[in-house]
Amino acid sequence: MPTRMRLTDIDLLETLSSSEYAKFLKEFQERRFIKNEILYLPNNEENSVFLVKCGKVRVYLAYEDKEFTLSILEPGDVYSTHTRAFIQAMEDTIILVTDVRTFQKIVVDSPAFSLNMVKVLGDLLKNSITIINGLVFKDIYLRLTEFLVQAVEDKGIPVQQGIKLELGLTTGEIAQIVGATRQTVSVILNDLRKSGILEKVNRRTILIKDLKKLQEINSGF
Ligand code: HEM
């Protein structure tokens, strides 16, 4: 498996705690939220940037009964309040908040912040592309995930990393079964791989790493 490229190993919290960065830390105010609390609604009036100090924060879009998770922020990640996403605490959470203007000055002085922004926005973009593919190929997504869930029930072999599926079918053959082109099935399998749900072991074998998430996708559309 190719190791995930790490854009930055800089831990912003650690960086901020160094004496050189004490001047930046002064610009942030601490705010606390309890599990499930909404930190910010879309397009909040207050134009701030925040840094997760501890806890876990979900960034998501919500339409009627549907939700699409764009990113899960962890300690050291930055995000802003001027986006169309909801921002919710998944655990008890502490954030450090500053206004956009101050953050702009900090970014100019410190590459650590810009690198972290690129990492967070890259993750957001990755998940957004998966969501777009899911919406564009909605029916095929459903048929393919249903096919995989069924195959797990029929012939899944539990292994340490998940469930091995010796399908004995190539992508082209799976495409024929679910009534799609090979290219579309490739796109979807790649999305599922990027989301950490499965991995291709070889041409005819798939490893399901997160069955729960696969089932969620299947019932989520
Ligand atoms: C230096 C500080 C920042 C400035 C000056 C800034 C400025 C802007 C501006 C002018 C827009 C367009 C707003 C609009 O269309 O009405 C925007 C959008 C956006 N910004 Fe920032 N931003 C900053 C920091 C950040 C940070 C730290 C993040 C997240 C890591 C972020 C994420 C976004 C996103 C996702 C959008 C698109 C929002 C949407 O269309 O829903 N920004 N930003």
Domain ranges of the chain: 12-136, 138-220
Residue of 139, 155, 154, 160 lying closest to 218 (CA atoms): 139
Q: Is the dihedral of CA 23, 27, 31, 37 positive or negative?
A: negative
117, 77 Cβ separation under 8 angstroms? no
> What does CATH list as the number for 138-220?
1.10.10.10
- 11 φ, ψ (degrees, to nearest 5): -95, 110
pLDDT score, position 142: 92
- 84 CA: nearest ligand 1 atom: 41
Cα end-to-end span (Å), the chain:
29
Distance CA 190, CA 174 (A): 14
If one counts every other C-beta atom within 10 angstroms of the C-beta of residue 122, the result is 13
Alpha helices in 70-110 (DSSP H): 100-109
Residue nearest to atom 33 of ligand 1 (CA): 83
Radius of gyration of the chain (CA): 20
Question: Per residue of the chain (221 residues), what is the pLDDT tens digit?
Answer: 344 445 556 677 777 777 767 778 888 999 999 999 999 999 889 999 999 999 999 999 999 888 999 999 999 999 999 999 999 999 999 999 999 999 999 999 888 888 889 999 999 999 999 999 989 999 999 999 999 999 999 999 999 999 999 999 999 999 999 999 999 999 999 999 999 999 999 988 999 999 999 998 877 65
Ligand 1 pocket check: which of 82, 87, 117 to mutate, most ligand atoms within 8 Å of Cβ? 82
Alpha carbon separation from 186 to 3, 42, 123, 150, 173 (Å, rounded): 20, 34, 21, 19, 12
88, containing H or E segment: strand 86-89
The residue length of the chain stands at 221
pLDDT score, position 5: 47
CATH, domain 12-136, list 2.40.10.10, 1.10.357.10, 3.40.50.300, 2.60.120.10? 2.60.120.10
Amino acid at 58: R
Ligand 1 pocket check: which of 7, 60, 80 to mutate, most ligand atoms within 8 Å of Cβ? 80
